[in-house]
A and B are shown apart, each in its own frame.
Chain A
Amino acid sequence: MALNKPYLDLPGTTIFDAEQSRKGYWLNQFCMSLMTADNRARFKADERGYLDEWAMSEEQKQAVLDRDLNRCIALGGNIYFLAKIGATDGKSFQQMAGSMTGMSEEEYRDMMLGGGRSAEGNRYLGEDGDAQPQHQPQGKSKGSN
């Protein structure tokens, strides 16, 4: 019998459940390794070489090299693990979160200062809010960053 997953109709959101966790096991464990200064330095010196030490898929490695957090999440990454990559790059959580929307850093910060993203139209797939697939990427540059 299938598991109860009532969260598959959320737009722009991936729930990190047991299935995602299984897919992303090595990706996330690689991220954990960046919690020591030595490993952060080794990773920065040779990203590709460091990633090759881990049993990650080629797609996962490429997504890390590209710093494509949406792709990392689709491949089983979890944001709290992926945040270790951002920390290694000297990025804040706001910069990381904003990078997944297509908005520029300034656009995303302004949205938050304006009270954040509204839930209106963003509760269910098929509505018309700004987080819906038909409105990606967001922001004026339309994701050219």
Chain B
Amino acid sequence: MARITASVYTSHVPAIGAALDLGKSQEPYWQPVFAGYDYGKQWIKEQKPDVIFLVYNDHATAFSLDFIPTFAIGTGAEYQPADEGWGPRPVPKVMGHPQLAAHIAQSVIQDDFDLTIVNKMDVDHGLTVPLSLMFGQPEAWPCAVIPFAVNVVQYPVPSGRRCFQLGQAIRRAVESFDGDLNVQIWGTGGMSHQLQGPRAGLINKEWDNAFLDRLIADPADLAQMPHIDYVREAGSEGIELVMWLIARGAMSDVAGGPAPELKQRFYHVPASNTAVGHLILENKQ
């Protein structure tokens, strides 16, 4: 059967992608950011996932105000990197996994989560920056990716509780797939940042680190935190962190298994306007 072996959490700051694409990753400003992913790059080479279920948000790229799905699963065969206004990032196209994605869609919808199914869309920095951080700059991404877009742009976004429950449903869906696949689930976005208004530039290091502590040790309790706490403490765009609870909800311990092993924890301020956080949690076999 297919199984979720690990979860990876990371910010997806667009400037990180730009720094890499423009060859600036060794500059003093960026070097400490990329260094935080050196372990992960090595780790994932050994893990060799077949599929990454990548939870991210679209930033007014594939989804304008024409339609705003709360949860959208990509069931297509491939996705092009989007032109977000600066021209498309020079990264490989993203190959999907239509069979597993369609299976997850059917299972999760039957489990009462009303997903939007998307066969055609471009993917923006929310999806490609995490791939770049973990894989560097390969000719082709080394595995399939199922894009899973969450609305965190127009309020109200889904609650942390709902995201955590959805992660559990995704885990059940993956485990009922007849195929021997090593699947990772990634939760991206955050950490504290605010990109708008006179409060732009807000960073809350203490709050972010408490979030990481709780995500690792007591995610069910963390999932109860209301939206307003994210916004007040971690900035209007800090709300992206609810997406990390989808990935965390898919880990074995939430379904009664052993606690996951913490393989990497990294935190750095700043990357442009944003606090960068990164975790790797591995399910014990």
Collect the chain A residues with CB atoms within 8 Å of residue B228's CB. Answer: 6-7
Contact A81 B60 (CB under 8 A): yes
CA distance A83 to B87 in the complex (A): 13
Q: Is A113 interfacial (CB-CB < 8 Å)?
A: yes
Give the number of residues in B that approach A within 8 Å (Cβ atoms).
Answer: 46
B83 within 8 A of A: yes
In the complex, which residue of chain B has the Cβ closest to the Cβ of A112? B270
Please give the distance in Å from A88's CB to the nearest CB on chain B.
6
The A-contacting residues of B in range 73-132, CB under 8 angstroms, are 82-87
Residue from A96, A115, A135 whose CB has the most chain B CB atoms within 10 Å: A115
Of B84, B197, B236, which is in contact with the most chain A CB atoms at under 10 Å from its CB?
Answer: B197
- Taking CB atoms and an 8 Å cut-off, the chain B residues in 258-285 that contact chain A are 269-270, 272-273, 275
Q: Which residues of A contact B233 (CB under 8 A)?
A: 119, 123
Per-residue contact bits, chain B 1-25, to A (CB 8 Å; 1 contact, 0 not): 0000000000000110010000000
Does B150 sit within 8 A of A, measured CB to CB?
no
| A102: chain B residues within 8 A (beta carbon) | 198
Residue of A nearest to B269 (CB): A115
Q: What residues of B have a CB within 8 angstroms of the CB of A117 in the complex?
A: 194, 199-203
Contact with B along A69-88 (1 / 0, CB 8 A): 11001000011110110111
Within 8 Å CB of A62, what residues of B?
none
Which A residues touch B156, using CB under 8 A? 17
Instruction: List chain A residues, Cβ under 8 A from B226.
Output: 6
User: Which of A12, A87, A101, A116 sits near B86, CB closer than 8 Å?
Assistant: A87
CB distance from A72 to the nearest CB of B (A): 10
For residue B43, CB closer than 8 A to chain A, the reply is no
Interface size on A, residues (CB 8 A): 61
Say yes or no: B273 contacts A35, CB within 8 Å: no
B162 within 8 Å of A (CB atoms): no
Q: Which of A11, A31, A73, A86 contacts B196 (CB 8 A)?
A: A73
Measured CB to CB, the nearest residue on chain B to A34 is: B85
Tell me whether A131 and B202 are in contact in the complex, defined as CB-CB below 8 angstroms, given that A79-B195, A119-B207 are known contacts. Answer: yes
State A88–B281 Cα separation when bound (angstroms).
39
State whether the Cβ of A57 lies closer than 8 Å to any Cβ in chain B: no
Within 8 A of B (CB), among A36-80: 36-37, 40, 69-70, 73, 78-80
Chain B proximity of A141: nearest CB distance (Å): 15
Structural contact, A122 and B270, CB atoms closer than 8 A? no
Q: Is the CB of B196 within 8 A of A116?
A: no
The reply to whether A101 and B236 form a contact with Cβ atoms under 8 Å apart is no
- Please encode chain B, from 203 to 237, with 1 for each CB lying within 8 Å of some chain A CB and 0 for all others: 11101000000000000000000111001110011
Q: What residues of B have a CB within 8 angstroms of the CB of A138 in the complex?
A: 198
Which of B85, B192, B272 contacts A84 (CB under 8 A)? Answer: B85
| Contact yes or no, A131 B60, CB < 8 A | no
Which residues of chain B are near A93, meaning CB under 8 Å?
14-15, 195, 272-273
Contact status A79-B85, CB under 8 Å: no
- Show 29 residue pairs from A and B whose CB-CB distance is below 8 angstroms, ordered by the A residue: A13-B231, A13-B236, A14-B236, A25-B65, A28-B65, A29-B64, A31-B60, A32-B65, A34-B85, A36-B83, A70-B198, A73-B196, A73-B197, A80-B59, A83-B60, A84-B85, A87-B85, A93-B195, A93-B273, A112-B270, A115-B203, A115-B269, A116-B269, A117-B199, A118-B204, A119-B204, A119-B232, A122-B199, A131-B197
